Structure 1
Amino acid sequence: MSCSDSVWNTAPTSAPAQRKGRYVPGTAAHPAKMLPGIATHAITTYTRPGDLVLDPMCGIGTTLVEAVHHGRHALGVEYEPAWARLAEGNLRHADTHGAPGTGTVYTGDARRLIELVPGMFHGTVDLVVTSPPYGSSVHGQVRSSRETGEPGVVKKDFRYSRDPANLAHVSTDRLLQGFTQILAQCRILLRPGGHVVVTTRPWRERGELIDLPSAVLAAGHTAGLIPTERCVALLAGIRDGRLVTRPSFFQMKNVRDARRQGIPLAVVQHEDVIVFTARPTLGPTRQHPEAAASAPASPASRPDHRARGTGR
């Protein structure tokens, strides 16, 4: 694999600064939001205005929002209804702020992706951008004793949900099995030569390193995709040639705890970016952009095109 632009400068400003005014209140509650700068870099690198972007695990809709703001059309699937509603709210917000693209959210299990996304879009997607759930130790927000009136700190917003069927709550083996299923269905939705961008990172579970990036590479290969690039997307800023770190409270705590035990752990300053290309197929004739123009309309103006599945 190669990468012409191996380091993506995706965090010149902090995540809250990137989201300010662009996303609705409540968005911050999602435990693992994609950095808007990462979604933007992927979209502007691998698509052109008018292209169709898909996120099969869209959460609060970061990929979709950045796509429509950059003149692309977007489809998203989200398992949890609460996050799907926030994604729809973020798309409406983008629409009211003049985003030229259109987006649609389907609620359901991405392992049933080809059932949830209408057949008219099969074989027409130009780019898939997504990230599998991982490592609750790197998620969450902190409320201090000053805020709660109680001693110590309280962690909040570190769960995707309490549904045990959510891929975020299953074993690593089941997560990878499910993610492979999702990538295989993404391949059906992609046009020949379309791209899949997966962002992820390793984490530690009971001291053991979970090398999710390498596992994602294997999952994509099993799903019939061609690995073409491996890059890094910065979570830190760059100032005067040096990295400006922005770790969370719990990332810092985990590093300090590990070092006390003699484990030379460091704060993660980037996401791994794995890029795949869809193999040429004998599948449906590409209909985009006509199909994209006819259906994934803004949720605010074309609510009849927002399909919902139970995902159960």
Structure 2
Amino acid sequence: MKTALYAPPHTETAQQLAPRLGRSPEWVVDRTGVVERRISDESMAVLGARAACEALQGTAPDLIVNASLTPIQLIPDSSVFIQRELGLEGIPSFSIHATCLSFLVGLQACGALIQAGSFRRILLVSAEQGSVCRDLSEPESAALIGDGAAAAVLERAPTDSDSALLGFAMRTYPAGAAHTELRGCGTRRHPNDPRTRPTDNLFQMNGPRIYRMAYSHADEVLDDAFAQAGLSRGEVDLVVPHQASGPMLKAIPRFGFPEHKVIDLISTYGNCIAASIPMALATAQQQGRLSRGDTVLLFGTGAGLSLAAMILRF
């Protein structure tokens, strides 16, 4: 698996954002862990295509899968716009949407498609322009979000390689559905409905409730994934989590993973929604923290509330 990320050039610091939120820079950093994030004036399709070009390195995919939250528009599917930016005609493209867990679910699905022989080389893209959905009247969630993209090129592992997807587990708890919402843009709060408010089209999140709910269910999901893999938590070489927030990342060692094994990008990129896990994975590759044969845990939460864990032999 070849990965790449693209970070937009414009940086927005806590000092720049704080006055718009009515908070101090110290409050932003203390509550979220985000010192700065990237903000894009380009669409998620452009961001995704930039990451994809770097990952493809001139090779041609036979399928494009968009695994992102923030779409260009409702229809056509945003994978089409990424494909157009790449100048590719005639190959299939579609989206897999599981909010912040879209990349993990996409990776599982793409692996199955390759294993079945349906496709030879799949381009999996997560690209987010979440900054346009920030509700500045809700400082704690608005202070988290950043823009960015990552892509992975997936192919069948050579016969002499032990690279494999060892375990995947996902659980969803609809009791947490109201904890993370973007209520507008659908039939419930249609844009033309006079009852729809402007804030219905912006991101809403109850961070403390998500934290408590995710913390209470994390062991169940991790146990499922490690049982499938036939491994213990101590055998993991690297943990690549969803960059949900500073407090969420600080909690990871409580589940048996030492801090030095955890990829933490929250201070420099913020929460880039579905792109955060593959951006962290690509960063680990770039920094030489990930080697062939390493055992890697990808882990995160998503709106729903959903939790997922994937164990890879890289």
Query: TM-score when scaled to structure 2?
Result: 0.29
Higher helix share: 2
Query: TM-score when scaled to structure 1?
Result: 0.30
